[in-house]
Structures are given as structure tokens and as C-alpha cells.
Amino acid sequence: MIKVQKLNSTHIDSVKAIALGAEQVKFAASAEEFVNNDEAGVHLHVITSDGNVVGFFKLDTLYPSQYSFSPEGSLGLRSFVVDRNQQGKGIGKQAVKALFPYLKENYSQYHAIYLTVNCKNPGAFNCYQKGGFIDTHEKYLGGPHGPQHIMYGSLK
């Protein structure tokens, strides 16, 4: 069973063991960068499969202050990673689907969640879309690796 939950100290070693394929590293944070994150307003989370940590992601509560496409009262999803050895099993899509009820329960003060996904990363785009995110058909052009699709999901 796939679950999402806040990172705690018992997850650290498992998170540090998560690896991405070489072509994916430029699109997301490394495990080391993730666990050492100290950005204000960023909440660190893990993805588990049958109790084992298989991925991680950040929820950014200050996302609207950085990105004009994200309205006040919305969250940002960043650095969504599934370990390369777990990819292709539907874990990403299941985790995205599990994210919506988790957010409705634990982040009920927010009305939506936004993300950007690089146009050169169609696998991630499809994962988010199959998991319930909607493509705005607009592009964010401020990313370090080229244009990105802007996607969102309703939390109401």
C-alpha cells in the first residue's frame, strides 16, 4: 500500500538511499539535498510502499510568494522523487493519488496545489496527470533546464 507522510528521523537513512537515474537528477533534488533542506515554509514528506520509504517530496507553503501563477491559499509540490529501482511500478501515480486526500486532511486551509514539470520530462508529466493534476496549458519559463508545464489540483 502506498502512503504519504511527513518525514521523521526514522526515515532519514532510507531517504538517503534513494537514487535517481542520471537523466532525472537535473529535474529534482538529490536525497542529500532533500534531507538537508532548511527552507522556510517547506515541509518534507516521504512516500512509502508497504512501510518502506520509496520516495520523497516537498510541500511549499510559501509557493505563491515565489510564483505568480500560484494564487494565494495554494501549496506548491516540489522535488517529487521515486527511487529509480521502484519506477515503472505505478508507485508515482499511486502516491500522487494518495496526496490529495492527505492534503485535504492535513492542509485543509489550502484550496489548491500547484507544480511545474519540465517539458523534457514526459514521464513525470503523465504521472501527475494520471494522478489527478490538471495541465493549465501555460508554461513557466524561469526554470534552470528549460520550459515547464504548470499543473494544479483542487483540494476542495
CATH number at residue 56: 3.40.630.30
CA distance 156 to 110: 8
pLDDT category of residue 125 using cuts at 50, 70 and 90? very high
Q: What predicted TM-score, i.e. pTM, was given to this entire model? A: 0.93
State the pLDDT at residue 15.
96
**pLDDT digits over 70-82, tens only?**
999 999 999 999 9
Strand partners, 139: 149
Residue 90 has pLDDT above 80, yes or no: yes
CA distance 71 to 142: 17
pLDDT category of residue 25 using cuts at 50, 70 and 90? low
Q: How many domains does the chain have?
A: 1
State the pLDDT at residue 9.
95
Strand partners, 46: 5, 56
State the pLDDT at residue 26.
66
Percent over 90 (pLDDT), the chain: 81
Q: Which helix (H) or strand (E) holds 53?
A: strand 52-60
pLDDT category of residue 5 using cuts at 50, 70 and 90? very high
State the pLDDT at residue 22.
66
Q: Domain limits at 48?
A: 2-154
DSSP characters for 78-144? EEEEE-GGGTTSSHHHHHHHHHHHHHHHH-TT--EEEEEEETT-HHHHHHHHHHT-EEEEEEE--ST
CA distance 33 to 72: 27
* The one-letter amino acid at 124: A
State the pLDDT at residue 87.
87
